[in-house]
Chain A
Amino acid sequence: MIALGLFNYWAVIVLMMVGFYTLIARGNLVKKLIGLNIFQTSVILMYVSFGKVEGGTAPILIEAAEHGAEAAEPILYSNPIPHVLMLTAIVVGVATLALGLSLVVRIKEAFGTVEEDEIQSASL
């Protein structure tokens, strides 16, 4: 049961390793970037899981009047800070991916290939 309860974190580890492996093992520069992106995305999932409180709702102030009697009990909120932090991380990830892909375009123009081994033999 513990393993199942930590399902999110298992997903994070699997995604992280898939991304990291692709990043290291693949020779194609575009695939490397995709690997990097999966690696970064797994961190986003990790942070979002940190912030989620079981049964918690979005952190919005709810008027007592709309709920009547129910509002007497306190409302459980999820922690919004990790979620907000990840908005920044998503922007950073997009910027990195965009810069990386534009580099690949220029590498393709300069070397005529996006395979790492062919580029290496061309640079010698």
Chain B
Amino acid sequence: MSQNLPALLVVVPLLLAPLAALSGRAKIAWGIATAACWWTLYAAISLLLRVQESGVIRYSLGGWEPPYGIEYRIDLASAFVALIVAAIGAVTIPYAGTSIAKEVSEDRAPLFYTAWILMLAGLLGIAITGDVFNVFVFLEISSLSAYSMIALGQDRRALTSTFQYLIMGSVGATFIVIGIGLMYVMTGTLNMVDLAERLPMVESNRTIPVAFTFLTVGITLKLALFPLHLWLPNAYTYAPSAVTAFMASTSTKVSVYLLLRFFFTIFGEVFSFEQMRLNMVLMPLALIAILAISLVAIYEVNVKRMLAFSSVAQIGYMVLGISFGTVLGVTAGIIHLFNHALMKGALFMAMGCVMYRIGSVQLDKMAGLGKAMPWTMAAFVGAGLSLIGVPLTVGFVSKWYLVQAALAEGQWFVAGVVMVGSLMALIYIWKVVEVAYFQEPDPDHEIIEAPLSMLIPTWVLVIASFWFGIDATTTATVATQAAETLLGAMP
């Protein structure tokens, strides 16, 4: 079995998904989804350990030798991303059990969990596959299931925001297929390693820059880089709470991984950064995302929407790290990818608890919540500190690496923008703290603390965000090694 673990990581959830759909009962479907999530966590941990021990795992699906068959190729970067996805899935699924029972009707819940498992399988598939067309297939599996989960939100605007996401997401995916097709027609292969070998031979042909451009637009749309982020705020705001927590910490992260995979492994750093000048595009957009979108977040009165805008700004940090094109920069990007998954997951889960008790996440409805729901708001503050980048939290580790990477390049201005972005995060987190702790609660409503089944998963992420902030050696080592493999600094 352990030999087939790469395939089983994806196949087990894919097989469990129809079972959840057939079960017909919310509780049973939830049980199956939990089994799927915990299985993938086990598989992802053992794959990461094996990659650390014995290097890249190559697995030919169905015994077809690459490049003819589909190959799963797991190096440190893919194992790390797969672990993030699986861990967030395993933490959010107990939370979803309680939260979804309230937000999604009983007869739709089994289908909801089916979509949840499929999304998990799709995201894991993207992380470990070594075949570019397979990437597209998994991308569409995860996107289509994400659309159907968002559409189950209570507000009717969930439907229109899903529609917007569906249109933009499909255009992005189609751009990626066009890019893949143009690469295939020039090289005759879909295997990533093969592509990386053959692309340099044909890169003087105009088709390759065109393919590169299509892929850049498609992937940056999927990861919601400014100005292609328009689908994200509404989708995150109106989706069921558990879905927002799961999606915000996984789906855009996997797209960032795709960016790394395509630009460093397949096209190579030299082509992407020296010939195509990718940094000239990514860096300004990332800086605008950090400044402009943080400003939008400050003026937002719906807290979930505020956090969604903050996600766009945080994606700016990840892309900023990548845009340096150095080992230090890419390390910063990968570390922030992990850290942001922890803190934004915790923040959205805390908001889910608020939604569970008071049925709204508008700022003015949250007056005095610090007294009524002490644990929930404490979790919000804890994860909020991390978002700001206070020392001893993961946010600080990310910012530290980012600023170091910027200073190593002599980019003082960029380092300054990172600092200003942190201050802006302080302002919008403080707005919530002020309302929750320093305003008197509405005496007519009796509000009690959220159920333990929601609080515990939230606190797991909050504690993790402090744990990895105090002792960042594990994440930093893995991220540095992953960055070195991506940039080819290490064999």
Interface residues of A (CB under 8 A from B): 20, 23, 29, 32-33, 36, 39-40, 43, 46-47, 50, 81-82, 85, 88-89, 92, 95-96, 99-100, 103-104, 106-107, 110-111, 119, 123
Contacts and interface: CB of A to CB of B under 8 A. Distances in A.
Given A50-B185, A96-B144, A103 B166 contact: yes
Contacts of A92: 136-137, 140, 144, 173
B178 interface: yes
B174 A106 contact: no
19 contacts: A23-B167, A23-B171, A29-B163, A32-B167, A39-B171, A40-B170, A43-B178, A81-B190, A85-B133, A95-B140, A95-B144, A96-B140, A99-B144, A103-B151, A103-B159, A106-B151, A111-B156, A123-B156, A123-B160
B104 to A, nearest CB: 14
A112 B5 CA distance: 50
Contacts of B160: 107, 111, 119, 123
B163 A96 contact: no
Contacts of A119: 160
Given A36-B167, A96-B144, A103-B166, A50 B181 contact: yes
Contacts of A29: 163
B177 interface: yes
Contacts of A99: 144, 147-148, 166
B261 interface: no
A85 to B, nearest CB: 6
A103 B181 CA distance: 30
B171 A36 contact: yes
B156 A43 contact: no
B140 A82 contact: no
B400 interface: no
Interface SS of B by simple majority: helix
B38 interface: no
A99 B146 CA distance: 11
**Which 4 pairs, one residue from A and one from B, show the smallest C-beta to C-beta distance?**
A110-B156, A92-B140, A50-B185, A107-B159
Contact of A103 (B133, B140, B162): B162
Contacts of B166: 96, 99-100, 103
Contacts of A85: 133
Given A46-B178, A92-B140, A95-B144, A100 B159 contact: no
A110 B166 CA distance: 18
B144 to A, nearest CB: 6
Contacts of B173: 92
Contacts of B144: 92, 95-96, 99
B426 to A, nearest CB: 31
A106 B185 contact: no
B184 A82 contact: yes
Given A46-B181, A95-B144, A40 B174 contact: yes
Interface string B131-147: 00100110010001001
B147 A88 contact: no
A96 B174 CA distance: 12
B365 interface: no
Contact of A43 (B133, B137, B162, B174): B174
Contacts of B198: none
Given A85-B133, A88-B137, A96 B151 contact: no
A46 B177 CA distance: 11
Contacts of A36: 167, 170-171
Interface in B146-166: 147-148, 151, 156-157, 159-160, 162-163, 166
Contact of A39 (B137, B151, B174): B174
Question: Which of A50, A103, A110 has its CB near the most chain B CB atoms (within 10 A)?
Answer: A103
B165 to A, nearest CB: 10
Contacts of A23: 167, 171
Interface in B394-447: none
Contacts of A107: 159-160, 163
A123 B159 contact: no
Given A96-B144, A103-B147, A103-B166, 16 more contacts: A23-B167, A39-B174, A40-B174, A43-B174, A50-B181, A50-B185, A81-B190, A92-B140, A95-B140, A96-B170, A99-B148, A100-B166, A100-B167, A106-B151, A106-B159, A107-B159
A85 B136 CA distance: 11
Nearest to A20: B171
Nearest to B157: A123
Contact of B163 (A82, A88, A89, A100): A100
Contacts of A43: 174, 177-178, 181
Contacts of B190: 81
A95 B166 CA distance: 11
A101 to B, nearest CB: 10
Nearest to B147: A99
A107 B162 CA distance: 10
